[in-house]
Amino acid sequence: GAGVSQTPSNKVTEKGKYVELRCDPISGHTALYWYRQSLGQGPEFLIYFQGTGAADDSGLPNDRFFAVRPEGSVSTLKIQRTERGDSAVYLCASKTTAGANVLTFGAGSRLTVL
Amino acid sequence: DQQVKQNSPSLSVQEGRISILNCDYTNSMFDYFLWYKKYPAEGPTFLISISSIKDKNEDGRFTVFLNKSAKHLSLHIVPSQPGDSAVYFCAAFNQAGTALIFGKGTTLSVSS
């Protein structure tokens, strides 16, 4: 597609539930990133995929968070046993491997855990 | 510990004047820096970047300056316009080149 697409744009869930957030990167972009942005903070790095593999998952806060990219295109961020502190905007970005070192971001998925 | 710091949460400027947004970093190994702009309910959009081999990069009304010895960079917007009102984030790639590390952002308000 023309840009990075994220769904859903808004998700409200109850504490303890399981949530999946989807990212459809720009076609042909092999690098994909997940970030989390809390109120008043900058985007916080979670995980980076190069193709199908997670090249850097050092930003995942704990084992409740997991992300996959099985075919090297669409990625899903999965959060188990959600907690109120997980409430944030989850941003996805993609980048081409060649050329400028610039990440293109989607509009984000706003997660609210009640 | 914040590796990229934007110490001014907000900045107010009159239309036509210069806006100067500042950013400091702690890791001298960082070698590529970017500025992003963010409007409410949208993702950050790329504005301008600079490599550590340069000390200045200009694109229209936007200029980024890099002072490696001070580990400091700044974004100048001249002349400022009301449409520039947004949150501005400074970011740097980590040493491995696997993650872009962001500051907390500065909210710029340009009044007409």
**Tally of domains in chain A:** 1
**Tally of domains in chain B:** 1
A70 pLDDT above the threshold of 90:
yes
Q: B40 lies in which domain range?
A: 4-111
Model confidence pLDDT, tens digit, residues A99-110: 678 999 999 999
Beta strands (DSSP E) in chain A are 5-7, 10-13, 19-24, 31-37, 44-50, 53-56, 65-68, 75-79, 88-95, 104-105, 109-113
Report if residue A40 sits inside a domain.
yes
Specify the DSSP class assigned to residue A62: S
Report if residue A108 sits inside a domain.
no
* Number of helical (H) and strand (E) elements in chain B, helices listed first: 0, 11
Q: Is A56 in Cβ contact with B104 (below 8 Å)?
A: no
Report if residue A104 sits inside a domain.
no
Report if residue A66 sits inside a domain.
yes
> In angstroms, rounded to a whole number, what is the distance separating the alpha carbons of residues A38 and A85?
9
Collapse the DSSP code of B64 into the 3-class scheme (helix H, G, I; strand E, B; otherwise coil) and give the result. Answer: strand
Report if residue A33 sits inside a domain.
yes
Report if residue A55 sits inside a domain.
yes
Q: Would you give per-residue pLDDT tens digits along chain B (112 residues)?
A: 789 999 999 999 999 999 999 999 999 999 999 999 999 999 999 999 999 999 999 999 999 999 999 999 999 999 999 999 999 999 999 888 889 999 999 999 999 9
Listed by number, the residues of chain B in 90-109 with a beta carbon closer than 8 Å to a beta carbon of chain A are: 91, 93, 96-105
CATH of the domain at B12: 2.60.40.10
CATH of the domain at A89: 2.60.40.10
Report if residue A111 sits inside a domain.
no
Optimal mutation site among B31, B98, B104, interface A, most CBs of chain A within 10 A: B98
Q: Which residues of A touch B93 (CB under 8 A)?
A: 101
- Report the residue from B97, B99, B104 with minimal CB separation from A45: B99
> In angstroms, rounded to a whole number, what is the distance separating the alpha carbons of residues B103 and A111?
22
H or E element: which one contains B100?
Answer: strand B100-102
Q: A27 lies in which domain range?
A: 5-98
